[in-house]
Amino acid sequence: MCVPTSAYEPAAVPAIPAEPEFQQAYNELASTLENSTLFEQHPEYRVALKVASIPERVIQFRVVWEDDNGVLQVNRGYRVQFNSALGPYKGGLRFHPTVNLSILKFLGFEQIFKNALTGLNMGGGKGGADFDPKGKSDSEIRRFCVAFMHELSKHIGADTDVPAGDIGVGGREIGYLFGCYRRERNRFEGVLTGKGLTWGGSLIRPEATGYGLVYYVDLMLEHLGKGSMAGKRVAISGSGNVAQYAALKCLELGATVLSLSDSKGTVIIDGEGSFTEEDIHTIIALKADRRPIVEFESNGRTKYIAGVRPWTHVGKVDIALPCATQNEVSKEEAVHLIENGCYILAEGSNMGSTQEAIDVFEAHRAENGPNALWYAPGKAANCGGVAVSGLEMAQNSRRLAWSAQEVDDKLKTIMKNAFDNGVATAQKYVASKEGELPSLVAGSNIAGFIKVAQAMHDQGDWWAKSVQ
């Protein structure tokens, strides 16, 4: 497929100043492709990048619903169906007041390549609404979900687009959404994932993103020759689904958990010790009631710091796991983590680090050989959630249910394949010095991109006269 570079224009960044989150996600992928030898070996892939950066379809709609006082409310609903070359569009629904098209395009763009890394037949998409579930009654949330799905149901299906949950969309919301879809379309099918276990859900699905993240970190530790999770000091941000189950898996494997947080502030261990399983289950109950983490009581073992993230407050740390939202690790926090001994940062959240922070991590990796901080991007490290969503789709298609052990074993295999693929691809396309750790961000980006681009080419989504 190799042709002269001059036959193609540069992979220009689409100038969309009103979409900063999407622009950041695009730049992060494009820069790693440009800084590798991929375009030297296959310059035609610049055309593929141009095509892949534009969604196949963007659906926007209004959601009109009635609150408990009988007052009419209206929100904006979205579904970004970004790429279906590998399978049905797959990606979560987010209900949060910050939701806008830029955020959903960034999430959908990341989802394309994350899903490719799982090895399963899933395309990439994302959706949601600027609806805030906090402070809403169960009846209000049900009415909103019904109004939202009334419109979305026209555009999704088991073989077309299979949404899942995300921030603000848990098991309760999935139930309301699925019930509305079933009634609207008169079909019982695997159109949503994260369903209840008695009506098509998969075991291990709630745990999958957090568990998969820790399995990925365990592979990084093995590659580094630093043993297992046992005894490692782990800082975690967030206190939602991903953080909760990452913390529980860390504890199960013998690690020390130093922190959890939410949008209001951070709870950290005061002195020595660790969060316990009982602590995590108490926080799970708090969050199920949509209550802030400041209400967590630990009999003096922890302290709460308002308005901060954990990274500059946890002291010495071996492993950092951002599990809250995008851009939650800044350049200054990245430097602080390195100075405090952190040697692995793996993202449980999507685009958890700013580009400036990633630059710090990658520069440190390039300069410090095996003693560097090793950075794992979200599209690789947190792909376990969508992987088990894909396994749920497979179970739905076959009208069967696998045991928790079967699903967990498949999850471990998928995480290992994603890790090995990222390492091998980085070693193939990214120049490195003797002893330098492979760039997982470059390797994962390139591996996911090549798989999607080749499928798009084979299906005629892009082409070039000189491609052989």
Residue 306, helix vs strand vs coil: strand
pLDDT at 15 over 70: no
Nearest by Cα to 329 from 342, 316, 312: 312
Selecting among 105, 126, 136, 451, the annotated active-site residue is: 126
Q: Catalytic: 465? A: no
* Tokens found for residue 339: 């100075």
Superfamily name and number for 207-381:
NAD(P)-binding Rossmann-like Domain (3.40.50.720)
pLDDT per position as a tens digit, 79-113: 999 999 999 999 999 999 999 999 999 999 999 99
Higher pLDDT, 464 or 429: 429
Q: What is the pLDDT of residues 207-246, one digit of tens each?
A: 999 999 999 999 999 999 999 999 999 999 999 999 999 9
| Whether 295 contacts 286, CB under 8 Å | yes
How confident is the model at residue 5, as a pLDDT? 39
Return the pLDDT at 9: 47
Q: What is the pLDDT of residue 465?
A: 57
User: Is pLDDT above 80 for 300?
Assistant: yes
- Give per-residue pLDDT as tens, 22-65: 999 999 999 999 999 999 999 999 999 999 999 999 999 999 99
Q: Kindly write down the DSSP assignment for every residue of 371-407, as one continuous string.
A: GS-EEE-HHHHTTHHHHHHHHHHHHHHHT----HHHH
The C-alpha torsion from 109 through 110 and 115 to 121, rounded to 10°, is 0
Region 247-275 average pLDDT: 97
Q: Which residues contact 434 (CB under 8 A, 6 or more apart)?
A: none
Q: What percent of the chain has pLDDT over 90?
A: 93
- What's the confidence (pLDDT) of residue 298? 87
Q: Which CATH architecture has domain 53-185?
A: 3-Layer(aba) Sandwich (3.40)
pLDDT at position 157, please? 98
Question: Residue 17 — pLDDT band, cuts 50, 70, 90?
Answer: low
Q: Which residues are annotated as a binding site for NAD(+)?
A: 209, 241
Who contacts 160 (Cβ-Cβ below 8 Å, separation ≥6)?
88, 89
Does residue 262 surpass a pLDDT of 50? yes
Lowest mean pLDDT among 5-14, 232-241, 275-284, 438-447: 5-14
Q: Are 386 and 91 in contact (CB under 8 A)?
A: yes
Domains 53-185 and 207-381 share a fold: yes
Sheet strands (E) in 199-285: 233-236, 256-262, 265-269
In the structure encoding, which two tokens stand for residue 369, read together? Answer: 């050989």
Condensed to tens digits (0 to 9), the pLDDT of residues 393-444 reads 999 999 999 999 999 999 999 999 999 999 999 999 999 999 999 999 999 9
What is the arithmetic mean of pLDDT over 363-392? 97
* pTM of the model as a whole: 0.92
Q: How far is CA 193 from the centre of its chain?
A: 15
Query: Up-side HSE of residue 119: CA atoms within 13 Å toward CB?
Result: 14
**Residues contributing to the annotated binding site for substrate:** 90, 111, 114, 165, 389
List phi, psi (to 5°) of 257.
-100, 120
The residue type of 162 is: V
Alpha carbon 307 to its chain's center? 24
Q: In the chain, what are the domain boundaries?
A: 53-185, 207-381
> In this predicted structure, what is the pLDDT of residue 290?
86
